Chain A
Amino acid sequence: MKRLMLLLTLLLACMTPALAEEDPGLALDRILAELEHSAAGIETLASDFVQEKHLEMFRETLVSRGRFYFARPDKLRWEMTEPVASGFLLNGDSGSRWHERAGAAVPFDIAREPGMQLIAQQLLAWARVDIVWLVRQYRMTLVSEQPVTLKLVPLQAGAEQFVEYLQIGFDAERRYVETVEVHEPGGDSTRISFAGTELNQPLDPALF
C-alpha cells in the first residue's frame, strides 16, 4: 500500500508541470476559439474611446476623444469629438467622412479608397472578432490570459514600414476589444482605450 501511494505521488508530481505548462500554440488556439465564440453573439457595439498618440521625437502624447459604433455585419461609425470633430461612417461598401476644418461630409466608395479600405477592414475585423481574417493578416502571440492580450505582427509585405506590431487587449469576459496599441517603427505609438461599452443595444439607423 505504501509503495502504491509513493508511486501515485511520483506520478502526480510528474504530471502536474505538464498540465500547467500548456503548449503556447495550443493556448493561443484555445483563446482565439473562446474569443470567437464569445463575440459571436454581439450584434451591436457602442463605446466611448480615448486615443493617445505618442510622438517619440517630441516626447509628447496628444489625447483625443470620441465615440465608436458598430452594427453587424458591416456598419461602422468612428467619431472624434475632441479636440477637433472628425470621423467617418461605413455602411457596406460606401460611406462618408468629415472633418470640422474641411466643412461638409464627403461620400466615398471603399473600392476606390485603399486607405479607407484598410482602416475599415481592421475595425470591422476587431469589432466582429473575425479570427479567420486576423490569422491571415498577423503572426499572433499570447501576451497574457487575464485579461486576454495578444501581440500581432503584420504578415503583409511592406506593412512593417508603418506598423511594427499591435497589442490588443480584451475585456474580462472576452467579448470585445478594450485596448488597441499600434506601435510604429521609430518609437511612435497610438493607444486607443474603449470605455463604457454597450453591447447589443439598439442603434439609431441615422448613425450609419
Chain B
Amino acid sequence: MNIRKGWFVLLALLLSGCASIPFEKPRRTATRELAAEALLAPYWLGDPVVYRIRHSGLFRLRGMKLPIEGFMELDANHRKARLVALEGMGLKLFDLTVTAETVEVNHLISDLRRHPGLPKAVADSVRRIFFQPQPSPADRLEIGSREYRLQRGGADETRFVFGGEPPLLLEKRGVGPSEDWWVGYYQYREQIGRQIPEGIFLQDRRAGYTLTLWLESVSCIEQ
C-alpha cells in the first residue's frame, strides 16, 4: 500500500513538474558521429550579431508571480544585454544592463523594490539563458543514443545537451557546490535564417525561482 502510495506521489510530482513548462517537449532522434565544432555550427547564440528580441514571460520568485512583456537587445558575443520589462499598459517595470559580471539597474519601479533579489535573479537568468556559460568546441563531447552532451568539469559541472536533426541546444545545466540550475529550450523554428527557440524555461533550484520566456519576435543587426 505504501509503495503504491509512493508511486502515486511520484507520478503526481512528475506530472505537476511537466505541467509547469508550457512548451512542446523536443523530439530526440537517433544520433550520428559528429565533432563538437559541427554540433555548434547552427548555434544561434554563437553568431556575431546583436539580437533584438520582443519577449513575454512569467517570473516566479518566492511566491511572487510577475508576468512581464518587454524588449531586449542582446549581444551574446560580447556577453551584454539591455532589457526593459513592461506591464500591459506600457508602464516600465525595470530596465537593466547585464554583462557577464555586472548588473546595472537603470530603472526599477517602486513596487518592485520590496523584492531586492529581483535584479540579480533577472541578470543571472539572462546570463544563463543567453551568454554564460556558452558551449565550446573545447568541451568534452559524449554521444548518447538520442542526445549529444558537451561537458566541462571544475568545482561546478556544466552540461549542454543537444538533440534532434539537425542537433540543436535543448538544455543547459550547472550543478555544484555554488549552483544548481537548468535551462530548457523549446519549439525551435526558423527566423532570420537561424533556428531560434520560441520557448525557454529556466529553474534555479538554489535561489528558488523560475522564468518561463516566450520569444515573440526576433530580429538582428549584423556586426
Contacts and interface: CB of A to CB of B under 8 A. Distances in A.
Interface residues on B, range: 20 to 34
Contact of A101 (B91, B92, B212): B212
B86 interface: yes
Interface in B180-205: none
A188 B57 contact: no
Nearest to A102: B67
A102 B88 contact: no
A57 B52 CA distance: 12
Contacts of A184: 92
A80 B88 contact: yes
A101 B58 contact: yes
B75 interface: no
B67 A86 contact: yes
Interface in B26-75: 52, 54, 56-58, 65, 67-69, 71, 73
Contacts of B84: 55, 57-58
A87 B92 CA distance: 16
Interface string B123-156: 0000000000000000000000000000000000
B111 A101 contact: no
B67 A99 contact: yes
Contacts of B52: 58, 60
B89 interface: yes
A188 B71 contact: no
Interface string A91-115: 0000000011110000000000001
A135 to B, nearest CB: 23
A145 to B, nearest CB: 28
Contacts of B214: 84, 101
Interface in B107-122: 111
Given A58-B73, A99-B67, A119 B56 contact: no
B216 interface: yes
Contact of A190 (B54, B90, B111): B90
A101 to B, nearest CB: 4
Given A101-B56, A101-B58, A115-B111, A60 B89 contact: no
A51 interface: yes
B195 to A, nearest CB: 21
Ranked nearest first, the 5 interchain pairs of A and B with the lowest CB-CB distance are A99-B67, A190-B90, A86-B88, A102-B67, A53-B90
Interface of A: 51, 53, 55, 57-58, 60, 62, 64, 78, 80, 83-84, 86-88, 99-102, 115, 119, 162, 182, 184, 188, 190
6 contacts: A58-B84, A62-B86, A64-B88, A80-B88, A86-B88, A99-B88
